């Protein structure tokens, strides 16, 4: 049986995927992991292949979700993205985004608040 943390993570990623699709992105993959790190969502639009880190919080009372994407986490996402790109060559420009999902009622939240930070960090 999955833990509450895993269920909440999947809830946040599902909400982020729905948001991306509504905004014209195509989802290429989810939870890509290698020995270097993990990428929550890989999506594309006409110009970019986008590596998305999803952060779910109840609210921003302890800081915005983006603040929890540390330099160490960024390096691990970038390393995993580089590995993915080696395995999946593309002419699209890579971009690193963060999607903050605020769900005050946890899994019971009907309409989570979503903030999409495009090009949140770079190589």
CATH code of the domain occupying 4-121: 3.40.1350.10
The pTM assigned to this predicted structure is 0.92
pLDDT greater than 60 at residue 41: yes
Residue 115 C-alpha from the chain's centroid:
11
The two beta strands, 48-57 and 93-102, are parallel
pLDDT greater than 90 at residue 67: no
pLDDT (0 to 100) of residue 68: 83
Question: Across the beta sheet with 93-102, what order do the strands follow?
Answer: 26-34, 37-44, 48-57, 93-102, 113-121
- Span 79-83, mean pLDDT? 97
**Alpha-carbon gap, residue 92 to 50, rounded angstroms:** 9
Bridge partners (DSSP) of residue 57 are 102
Domain ranges of the chain: 4-121
């Amino acid at each position: 049986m999955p833990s509450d943390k895993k269920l909440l993570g999947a809830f946040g990623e599902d909400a982020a995927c729905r948001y991306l699709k509504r905004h014209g992105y195509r989802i290429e993959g989810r939870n890509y992991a290698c020995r270097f790190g993990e990428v929550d969502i890989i999506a594309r639009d006409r110009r970019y292949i986008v590596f998305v880190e999803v952060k779910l919080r109840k609210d921003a009372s302890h800081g915005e979700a983006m603040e929890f994407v540390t330099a160490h986490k960024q390096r691990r996402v970038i390393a995993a993205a580089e590995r993915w790109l080696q395995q999946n060559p593309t002419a699209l420009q890579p971009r690193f985004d963060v999607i903050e999902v605020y769900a005050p009622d946890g899994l019971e939240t009907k309409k989570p608040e979503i903030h999409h930070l495009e090009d949140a960090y770079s190589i």
